[in-house]
Structure 1
């Protein structure tokens, strides 16, 4: 089984309305089993996405230009960060806030059109995922695949953790290239970029620091450190809350899947009982028919003997008259 084949099947499944996922997965696995048992098992193992992740997938399927624009914006932000262009970073930060707000509203609309309303909490998860797309090339590839399983979170410094976040991770769209140049960068900034580029770029772990309105002081005062610690704690709390919501969504999805399987099992058992009852009735009819056939054979034998005796009597009476 090739991952590309599994990815093609997964693309079709994750593009469907969320409530149709389990049934479509079962059908796809049955179809694959006819020619490739390994592929069928892999299809059955494809997880159902969380509601928020599904909403992002709907963007990838129905509004890919929205994700393309955010990906391009993320590339410009990383280039500006690499060149230490604070002015561009401030402008790009404002542009990102506007773009994310519009993208979330588009995700709400697309999800509604495909059978699911998105709550404010889920919309927040969608926004965090799209923010991660702008911060990390790997996250961008995962989101643009349309096979997201759960939402993403970027801390603004480290690479986004993509473990278990996308189906068939071995087959992802190529990462978008950063712009060749950054508008409004000074000659000094460009010179620093040229000198620092080998140290700033790490293809294996793309990084994007949070946009700052002012440069960070060399020795931040105690209040600033306390605020930074508070921000970090609040981010950790938000991340934990999002993880809890995702797990709750997954639990609800599993409950729904179990209910569907229980109903299917009950239907199969009812069909089995009906078939067994029909089998018993057929056996009884067969036994009655066999008994009637035996009686008919005995009656035919008796009638045959009677006919022979009658014929013999006729012959005797005929001979006596002569």
Structure 2
């Protein structure tokens, strides 16, 4: 019952805002302290997640479909690794790059909706954790819990280290381990002692050692199993070669784009020179037109004054003519 109560409180805390986590944790601990001091202490011990882990918790709670899609892709990639299917790994690697880019964009959008923006560094941490999700079922369970505390990382060979990565790890579903099972040292010694005793103990004379054909003995010798680590290393190599091919292709495309950009820049620079020359010529024509306009305006004003003066002179002359005619 106490585990269920702690899980309910943890789910509420890790579903809230990052800035308000500490205050919400203190309030939750104070609320339950009256009834259960042990539970209150457990609540106070719930760690605050990192920014990237908080963003992934928001993604788990608001867009679980994104994590489900990546987990399904991880299952298909692990199947291809087990069968050492290099073509399938290359195709799945390209699919993962696309899905990871989309998932990071969605995580940034969800984080903004919850009042926090992700920097490029935080977005890179989110992508690294989502990549680990596709490589390890335990990592997928941790991210999907919505109680992630820190960034996860996968090397493609070993299981993802989940120690201290999630709050209440005991509530996570168990994930099958891909690491080879090793024999304890005590068992190894016992096996070695039994083998030595068997070699030194003589067989009874009444039971002669049967002779078997060499071919039959070879057939009955069990074939040693291929170590899982070696298989995963080979699969990782195939994926790395796929990534190398994709990187080379992308580099070629970027070089072509670079050459195209250089050519476009040269053309634009030439066009800029021509436009500047045309602009200078237009500015010169504009200046000459302004000067002509100023001169014409001055001449027009002078002509208007002269016309006004001539008009007044004509009026005076007409009045004189009329006076002389009346005399």
1:50, 1:215 → 2: CA distance? Answer: 30
* Secondary structure of the structure 2 residue equivalent to 1:213: helix
> Following TM superposition, by how much is the alpha carbon of 1:198 offset from its aligned partner in structure 2, in angstroms?
9.0
- Which deviates further from its counterpart, 7-16 or 100-109? 7-16
- Mark the CA change 1:27 to 1:125 in structure 2 (over 3 Å): closer, same or farther: same
- Mark the CA change 1:93 to 1:215 in structure 2 (over 3 Å): closer, same or farther: closer
> Following TM superposition, by how much is the alpha carbon of 1:200 offset from its aligned partner in structure 2, in angstroms?
4.0
Partner of 1:209: 236
TM-score with structure 2 length normalisation? 0.55
Aligned length, in residue pairs: 197
C-alpha contact (below 8 Å) 1:32/1:40 kept by paired residues = yes
> Following TM superposition, by how much is the alpha carbon of 1:3 offset from its aligned partner in structure 2, in angstroms?
2.9
Matches within 5 A, 1:257-296: none
C-alpha contact (below 8 Å) 1:56/1:148 kept by paired residues = yes
* Secondary structure of the structure 2 residue equivalent to 1:55: helix
> Following TM superposition, by how much is the alpha carbon of 1:37 offset from its aligned partner in structure 2, in angstroms?
1.0
Partner of 1:93: 93
Could you give the per-residue CA deviations for residues 193-235 of structure 1, whole angstroms, max 9, x where no partner exists? xx9999649xxx9x9736133699xxxxxxxxxxxxxxxxxxx
- Mark the CA change 1:130 to 1:13 in structure 2 (over 3 Å): closer, same or farther: same
> Following TM superposition, by how much is the alpha carbon of 1:24 offset from its aligned partner in structure 2, in angstroms?
1.1
2:134, 2:15 → 1: CA distance? Answer: 22
1:215, 1:32 → 2: CA distance? Answer: 52
* Secondary structure of the structure 1 residue equivalent to 2:20: helix
1:58, 1:140 → 2: CA distance? Answer: 15
> Following TM superposition, by how much is the alpha carbon of 1:23 offset from its aligned partner in structure 2, in angstroms?
1.4
TM-score with structure 1 length normalisation? 0.56
Matches within 5 A, 1:49-88: 49-88=49-88
For structure 2, the 5+ residue unaligned runs are 177-222, 245-327
For structure 1, the 5+ residue unaligned runs are 177-194, 217-322
- Mark the CA change 1:131 to 1:45 in structure 2 (over 3 Å): closer, same or farther: same
* Secondary structure of the structure 2 residue equivalent to 1:123: helix
1:154, 1:84 → 2: CA distance? Answer: 19
RMSD across aligned positions (CA): 3.1
* Secondary structure of the structure 2 residue equivalent to 1:18: coil
